A = this chain, B = another copy of it.
């Protein structure tokens, strides 16, 4: 997606440790009009007319997933990081290793909000090693729901998460795949 790649090139910053910061428009300050453009772009790759919900992970995926759910006219559900005491009873759980937080995180989802009749599109803003998405796919599977696809705005292509998904039979699409970083220059995969 040209518009997204241009924003990353223009406003993205490369920090030590291959951290790519896009927090001026994607995941700290959020440009909602860009989110709308991304939501429309995903419609080229996923049959959004057939989904019953958009699923994402707390926290930074919520903004994009909300705009997508609005565009596709379905609810947005986000898996929470375990800890809160305000969710009763039956939960799906998955354990993932967070690259950002350098520790294990438990994603939880109330059984009330996903079941066998659901057709789920997973949306996230950013993917590195793909752990958060792996956990979300696992929640969909626990619910006996149908995974329609996985849509990611920005993929760090050199960390393997996207390649594993492309090698699976999941309908996976990322709108900007960063292949490598040459000094300060961000190089995209074609």
**Contact B32 A86, beta carbon cutoff 8 Å:** no
Task: Report Cα–Cα, A110/B15, bound state, in Å.
Answer: 15
Task: Report Cα–Cα, A101/B82, bound state, in Å.
Answer: 10
**Contact B66 A28, beta carbon cutoff 8 Å:** no
Chain A residues numbered 91-110 whose CB sits less than 8 Å from any CB in chain B: 100-102, 110
Known: A36-B70, A59-B62, A70-B67. A85 touches B28 (CB 8 A): no
Known: A58-B59, A101-B83. A30 touches B88 (CB 8 A): no
**Contact B59 A28, beta carbon cutoff 8 Å:** no
**Contact B35 A77, beta carbon cutoff 8 Å:** no
A residues bordering B, Cβ < 8 Å? 13, 15, 17, 19, 21, 23-25, 28-33, 35-36, 53, 58-59, 62-63, 66-67, 69-70, 75-78, 80-81, 83-88, 100-102, 110, 112-113
**Can you name 18 extra interface pairs (CB under 8 A) apart from A29-B113, A63-B63?**
A19-B85, A21-B88, A23-B86, A23-B113, A24-B112, A25-B75, A29-B77, A30-B66, A30-B75, A30-B77, A31-B75, A32-B66, A32-B70, A58-B59, A63-B76, A63-B78, A66-B67, A85-B102
Q: Which of B21, B31, B35 contacts A86 (CB 8 A)?
A: B21
Contacts of A33 on B, CB cut-off 8 Å?
Answer: 70
Closest residue of chain B to A72, judged by CB? B32
Contacts of A17 on B, CB cut-off 8 Å?
Answer: 85
Contacts of A35 on B, CB cut-off 8 Å?
Answer: 66, 70
Contacts of A24 on B, CB cut-off 8 Å?
Answer: 112-113
Q: Which of B62, B77, B85 contacts A66 (CB 8 A)?
A: B62
